[in-house]
Amino acid sequence: MRSISENDLSVIIPLLATKIREIKQELLNGEGREDDMTDEEFDQQTDNRDLLAAYERTMDNLQEEYEAGRSEGIILPSFEELTKPFDLKKHRP
């Protein structure tokens, strides 16, 4: 039994995709400036990398659960349709 409905996942997945995109953008903005960063900024970059990895693992798990529901015949948009506006495959720091 699923702990969350596929309809709820269809809302949560784009929200998580937004956060992933925002974190990736922050990391990209900091690339190449490591020498100019304060210790706090460097620590924030490290924290963002860790958070990004956790969010990406969560997204993988949500995708599996979502696709399982779709394979059972629940009519929902594809995972790719949900995440396409967020271009999750691009710019992997």
Q: Kindly give the confidence (pLDDT) of every residue in the chain, 93 residues in length, as a single tens digit, with 9 standing for 90 and above.
A: 566 788 888 899 999 999 999 999 999 988 877 778 888 988 999 999 999 999 999 999 999 988 888 888 888 888 888 888 877 665 445
Q: Go through the domains of the chain in sequence order and give each one's CATH number.
A: 6-86 (1.10.287)
- What burial letters (b/e) apply to 9-33, b meaning 16+ CB within 10 Å? bbebbeebbeebbebbeebeebeee
**pTM higher than 0.75:** yes
pLDDT value at position 24?
94
